[in-house]
Amino acid sequence: MTDARKLVVAISSRALFDLDESHRIFEEGGKEAFCRYQIEHEEETLAPGVAFTLVRKLLAINDTLRQPTVEVILLSRNSADTGLRVFNSIRHHGLDIVRAAFTNGASPFGYIAAFGADLFLSSNAEDVKKALAAGHAAATILASAKPATDSGQLRIAFDGDAVLFSDESERIYREQGLEAFAEYEAAEARKPLSGGPFKAFLATLHHVQTLFDADESPIRTALVTARAAPAHERVVRTLRAWNIRIDEALFLGGKAKGPFLSAFGADIFFDDQQGHCHSASQHVATGHVPHGVANLDTPPA
């Protein structure tokens, strides 16, 4: 956790609000047409985007604790001029977001470290890849085919290999097959896995959870992995070695993750594999983490 007092999440304006129409105008008419459109519609409130519910629930933690424990930062490729519509919409929706970087078309990923962000969410895959390469937890947001849950509790689900953990085991599976993977995991069961790009973010979430009684936490986490017994043991022992609590762990043995994520009520799910992400996005909001061996020879999501 970069700041012992805060969980800091950086988010792009297109992840926070529905800017599909604005983006279409940008792609069809260019930057000048986009700027003109945004200024002409400056007083029109933007509708919530795919990560809006997630952000609202994150910020609600501050109200529950009555102290500034969570901060959301806006990182936008808009100019400050065209970004007025975004801030007007933030005010209209009552979101306590006061810090922002407007980069006028340039990638904003360089400001992640400056703001001390623990997580970066964006709809721009290239910005996400740059952030991951720089050592930050980051994901490309995919819209869900179903609306977000309206429960008050924030529910976040993670894949294991190449997200919470390194991709060392995934590499063995891809290079040598399932049997070799199972043998390797059994032999290494008592050796903790190395951390993946989301280890620090999970640790920060866990820290915030410890500020509440276990049965009253506004945050609930889940590990949703294609692993099955006996490959589950190393995962359990790894989290124990990290001293990090996961509230629920689902070892699916290759079953489709979407129905289980829906049953968990995830506000967002993070996975490194595009196939899993697109399947999951039929049920819940999903973040593609373009990290590890599964993304070496595939185009951005």
Query: For position 114, what pLDDT does the model report?
Result: 96
CB atoms within 10 A of CB 230: 12
Query: For position 142, what pLDDT does the model report?
Result: 92
CB atoms within 10 A of CB 236: 14
Active site residues: 159
In terms of Cβ atoms closer than 10 Å to its own Cβ (0-12, 13-18, 19+), residue 143 is middle
- Report CA torsion sign: 116, 119, 121, 126: positive
CB atoms within 10 A of CB 67: 12
List the strands of the sheet with 286-288, edge to edge: 100-102, 70-76, 7-11, 119-122, 138-142, 286-288, 268-271, 154-158, 219-225, 248-251
- Per residue in 185-230, pLDDT (tens digit) is 888 889 999 999 999 999 999 999 999 987 889 999 999 998 888 8
Could you tell me which residues are beta bridge partners of residue 223? 158, 249
Query: For position 1, what pLDDT does the model report?
Result: 42
8 A C-beta contact, residue 187 and residue 215:
no
Query: For position 300, what pLDDT does the model report?
Result: 41
Query: For position 196, what pLDDT does the model report?
Result: 96
**CA-CA-CA-CA dihedral for 141, 262, 155, 249, to nearest 10:** -110
8 A C-beta contact, residue 134 and residue 26:
no
Query: For position 180, what pLDDT does the model report?
Result: 82
Which domains, and CATH codes, for the chain? 7-140 (3.40.50), 154-295 (3.40.50.1000)
| pLDDT average per 10 residues of sequence, the chain (301 residues) | 72 92 83 85 92 95 92 92 90 96 91 96 95 96 76 92 91 84 86 95 95 90 90 91 95 92 95 93 95 72 41
Query: For position 81, what pLDDT does the model report?
Result: 83
